[in-house]
Structure 1
């Protein structure tokens, strides 16, 4: 390293912010020292990586607080984890790679990952920017839902007109349970009214008939005839007959009894009507209480606004307002580009001298490693050949020693045979001479 390069190095123990920022880009400081003029570029790139991680942390803080429904220290846990994850992921994405310009696949993959992460990070920020409109939309939806629920509860729980209440279509989960209903009194009232109407009709018919008979009696009984023997006036026999007819009609048709029964029925109708009015009032109060309880449960469910509910409300707002739709998507694209900025800056800025040096050093290291492997392979092969030669020489020596020993044994055997033959010949000659 030259003297100027050495002088540019920070002194030990000194905090170097620029060096820390360059660490976020994954560069080799020793190699970068050879092209010192590119330090500013990688320092700025490290600042972009750090800024993206801070934006991601703010986005996760918004997401966590919306999920919890309040600001809490618990939201710091996912915020810090998400920030570190994005920081390391962006560091991996922008870390210089040798021969990167020759491989399009990894470049496209990194850009795609950056854009997807940008979309994920951008959504909570967009929700935060349009929070007021989103919350108003959600409040309107919730009020409409409560009004619809109230209407369904009232529609599905009408005041019963009898003991047998026909179920209303589509009211399975809207039916309330009541301790007592005015249905039985309604049946009794309807029955008495029906009987009273029939009896009233009969009484009216009988009274009309009696009125006709009484009219005839009055007309006939106005006439008087003189009795020849006494010279006095008396009513006609027809008058007497009509009076008996009217008396028989009242007796056979029970007109007085029917009128008393009708009066008793009307009294009972008035009594049941009063009781039914009171019972219906109690039923309406109990129904109102049940409706309010259901509405209270529904309001308890609507206490916190969830993230999915906010996203749905934002989409509805964007769908109904073209200007708002364009504004929302502009903000989304802005945050996506900001989150993908480190990768875009790195891979759209062109190949730098550091990248070329890194490629050269990488290729050189690969060649050196390959040569070292070949040298180690040749050395291993030579050691193997030497070992093989030593083994072959040992085999040949052992084989020669074995053959020599075999020849010595054969020669010894021959000598012993000749000695035995000679001894036998000598013994035969001695025997023959005797």
Structure 2
């Protein structure tokens, strides 16, 4: 067979994947396609293609209708499987809507996000199901386990917003209680770290909880303490001087009165001892500057009284400022806690589950149920036995693979002829070129030899002419 004949024979092969119309059956044998779908099994196959919603549902999960037409009994199974995938997408859309509403509020444009999420989930489930068509049951673990894990992850993401919606009222109450307790703790810390006196505490736990006021009364308090200390010292000194002066004046009175006692002469009248004792009392009064001391004590008492009033006024003002600052911070904290998101709801649900065993069990059971519903497409495919559709699709895939191999080999043979001919042409051209170059080289060498011979002949003739003319001379 020539290369052209071989190419023509390979080009007549039908492309892979294209259905070849079978030869028309004899007139006396009806084909299944000409009969209604409710004809008893045993009639010829394939049946007529089905139209409408069931076909669209099966298309969602990637069913090959050409193969399914040979086993129409499997149509309800795969129609319901496609409906399960759509139900999962609807459940995902509801879950996404609830999650977005809890964060962004009610907006009509959230429907687009819900639709996009539903399409993503349906697409993922569609791939999970369609990728198992024709899979052998011997590869159950390898085929379905990765898909089941992916379905579990998707189910967990879809289920949680729905669980939050079910426990919505309890979660709202728990969040309110948690935030009230948080505000109370915050307010208590502010009051502990900011005493009404305005004293700055050195407690490390108070870092970040100190309020800002215009002026703290600590300087006035320190000044009052110093003034009180000076007044008390001066009062002691004045008391001692007054006691000494009183003692000297008593001794002078007793001496002048002639009383009997220690240090007294018992001689009445203004004698030398009487005068001396009076002079001693006057000298002490003068030297001790007792009048000035009393005046300084009055001034010190007045200063202490003024500073005490000033401290009381500063403390009252500081207490009001601190109270106002604490109230402002608490109000700001409370305002910051008005909004809530998914994390707050998750935390509240976790808190409820940790406090109440009933809530924990209800949470787990509901979450597992929703996750199971989300995994239902893969679970239903995994739990069902291998169908006749899977077997036929597997055989068709094998046949398609073999036909593709045959077509590749035919294409290889067809294309290799051209390359081999082209290679032969290149080799022939190479040999022709080599021969041409050899002939030109031989011609050039002959030409050079002829030129050399001619030159030699001319030189020989010249020499011969020279010899013949030489004797005559």
| TM-score w.r.t. length of structure 1 | 0.80
- State the partner residue of 1:58: 94
1:305-337 Cα shifts (integer Å, max 9, x gaps): 121222223223222333322221112111111
1:176-221 Cα shifts (integer Å, max 9, x gaps): 2222222222122111101001011111222222333333334333
CA distance in 2, matches of 1:168, 1:256: 49
Residue 259 (1) aligns with residue 294 (2): yes
Question: Aligned match of 1:47 in 58, 83, 105?
Answer: 83
- State the partner residue of 2:182: 145
Identify which range, 292-301 or 342-351, moves more after superposition: 292-301
1:100/1:107 contact within 8 Å kept: no
Question: Aligned match of 1:88 in 123, 139, 163?
Answer: 123
- Gap change, CA 1:222 and 1:8, over 3 Å in 2: farther
1:101-153 Cα shifts (integer Å, max 9, x gaps): 35442322111110111111111122222233333332233223222222332
- State the partner residue of 1:304: 339
Question: Aligned match of 1:169 in 204, 217, 222?
Answer: 204
Secondary structure of the residue aligned to 1:34 is coil
Q: CA RMSD, aligned part only?
A: 3.1
CA distance in 1, matches of 2:366, 2:214: 57
1:94/1:343 contact within 8 Å kept: yes
- State the partner residue of 2:368: 333
Higher share in helix:
1
Q: In the TM superposition, what is the alpha-carbon distance from 1:273 to its structure 2 partner?
A: 1.5
Question: 1:7-406, aligned counterparts within 5 Å?
Answer: 9=49, 16-68=52-104, 70-95=105-130, 96-103=132-139, 104-159=141-196, 167-223=202-258, 234-382=269-417
1:220-254 Cα shifts (integer Å, max 9, x gaps): 333389xxxxxxx7344333332222222222222
CA distance in 2, matches of 1:394, 1:238: 164
CA distance in 1, matches of 2:422, 2:151: 58
1:161/1:186 contact within 8 Å kept: no
- Gap change, CA 1:218 and 1:129, over 3 Å in 2: farther
CA distance in 1, matches of 2:257, 2:87: 123
2:49/2:65 contact within 8 Å kept: no
- Gap change, CA 1:222 and 1:394, over 3 Å in 2: closer
CA distance in 2, matches of 1:219, 1:347: 126
- Gap change, CA 1:245 and 1:87, over 3 Å in 2: same
CA distance in 2, matches of 1:221, 1:331: 111
Q: Extract unaligned runs of 5+ from structure 1.
A: 226-232, 410-434
Q: In the TM superposition, what is the alpha-carbon distance from 1:349 to its structure 2 partner?
A: 0.9
CA distance in 1, matches of 2:119, 2:66: 26
Question: Aligned match of 1:3 in 11, 16, 35?
Answer: 35
1:223/1:236 contact within 8 Å kept: no
